[in-house]
Amino acid sequence: MRGARLAGERLAHRTQFLRPPFILLGGRHGFQLREVHTSNSRSTISSSALEDARALIDRLGRSEEPFQTVQPDTDWPDVSLNRRKLATLRETGELERQWSQRRAHFALGAYDDSERTKSELSDWRSLESDLNKLIGRLQIELKCTRSDDLLAMLKTLKPHQTQCRSRLRSLQARYNHEALQTVNLSHPDSPIGNETNNRVVRTFGTAPARGSPDPSRDHLALAARLRSQTLRPSWLDPESGLKTTGTRFYFLRGEAAVLESALINYAISTVTAADDGWQYCTVPDIIKTSLAERCGFLPRDDASQTYFVSTGASVRADERHSLALAGTAEIPLAGSSSGVHPLAALPLKALGLGRAFRSEAGSRGLASRGLYRVHQFSKLEMYVVCRPDKSDEMLEELVALQETILVPLGLTLRTLDMATEELGASAYRKYDIEAWMSGRGDWGELASASNCTDYQARRLGIQYQPEPADGKKLPLEYAHTLNATALAVPRVILALIEQGLHLDGDDKHFALPAVLRPFWLGKHVIASDDGDVPIRWIKREQP
């Protein structure tokens, strides 16, 4: 009897969408589905289904407001904002306060737009679910009634199913686009305001008072007095860059090119020796613009700062800006980190070498001349994926590693805790390391380090699997990401020239840090218009 009862329950469950006149009959051979023949049975089924279908079509019609569609991004997972946290901050006014401190007022409007889109997305998902259930019900009833009206209604509803899917894809794309316009929150200890509020954390060397630029120490003027052993153009050759490409492109010649190689190899050696967990890699210089957007850079919205790549295949309007030259190796390193990582593998530490391309539109004047602001340069970048509870500690570790690289170079340095208006879209907290540059008469940035918390992870799907609790598998969680400059070559060369190259008087020499000597592949005497200039290797203290 118990088996017969269970069989009946299973059969009843399978037929839950069928209305009377169907009944279950019990007998010697179990339960059977029988049709009760009444005069109005077929019309009862059809009229009920048709009534539900007409009501659903009416709902679909009321939801058909026109809106601007956004091209779906199929390269990356859907953006997953921490909506519960953001909603709480929005209600209390904390979200507006924080984003105002960052001068990111646009982000609040984008967040509100994304919430409205999310609500509309939820409504359409509900509509799609009801539509799919109704079509399934109509298909079952059609087998029993053979009603022409039901068949016609089924044909009417099928296009709405396609329309629903298309609408959902477009709404999700619009939500992703709006969510990408938001910025990260700020660390409570970050100074509030603009660059004048940056907090000096540490200094290395004697920090001079800010003054007028010293033309005698300008790196371009000094380098012009040097020449390659085999070629007449100077160490720094912007004239050839102008001929071959345009302004702010340059050639490094002779020992200047050797100096770049020595600096890069020294930095690689320093980072990889600090921790066995660092993996050195080279990265693509061409990236998808959608990846740059997910990382917090908005090349489509700020096209003046980006070099886009066009190919013969880029004929459609939506494909013309699908690729760009990377502004930093952080971007391809972040993209390669997308996916689910086991907890035991964290932290992931990558050291990437790439070329950085920046159009730097609008940058003019003495402070931007020479090697300080160029369109293309070699850059070594550190990128970390870690547990959320370790990211603050990891940021301090990265800054300490940057100081370990830069201090032995003998430069006058300072480390700054950056103010809220100086944070990029992705940064929760950021440190900069600056060097004194006599030719500019001012400090100049050499490196930066940022804790992006889960900002990039939620946009790129960078997750990890937590340890089980009470033997149960826990849901995936978003990791935290960090990035830090290991070495940006041109500005370091600039600072070394202005601080160490002495061409006047009887004691001509170029003072270079001794830590570079094991990586030096050039001559130890540099030819100049004023005679040979020996390289003098100077040992500096570690931080």
How do 442-451 and 323-325 pair as beta strands? unpaired
Query: What is the rounded CA–CA span in Å between residue 535 and residue 517?
Result: 10
Closest CA to 233 of 216, 220, 217: 220
Q: Are 500 and 533 in contact (CB under 8 A)?
A: no
In sequence order, the β-bridge partners of residue 379 are 354, 488
Q: Which pLDDT score, from 0 to 100, does residue 229 have?
A: 55
Q: What is the distance between the alpha carbons of residues 517 and 541, in angstroms, rounded to a whole number?
A: 15
Which tokens belong to 319? 């494909």
Residue 541's pLDDT is 63
145 within 8 A of 46, measured Cβ to Cβ? yes
Kindly list the averaged pLDDT for each block of 10 residues, start to end, along the chain of length 543: 42 37 34 35 54 69 58 78 93 94 90 90 84 79 68 74 82 89 95 96 85 83 75 77 90 92 98 93 95 83 74 55 91 97 96 92 64 93 98 98 96 96 96 94 95 97 93 94 97 94 88 96 84 88 57
Please answer whether residues 376 and 355 qualify as being in contact, where contact means their C-beta atoms are separated by less than 8 angstroms. Answer: yes
Q: How far apart are CA 133 and CA 17, in angstroms?
A: 9
Residue 19 has a pLDDT of 38
Pairing between β-strand 480-488 and β-strand 442-451 as defined by DSSP bridges? antiparallel
The Cα angle at residue 368 between residues 484 and 425, in degrees rounded to 5: 40
pLDDT at 474: 92
pTM: 0.84
Helix (H) or strand (E) holding 168: helix 148-179
CA 157, 159, 161, 164 torsion-angle sign: negative
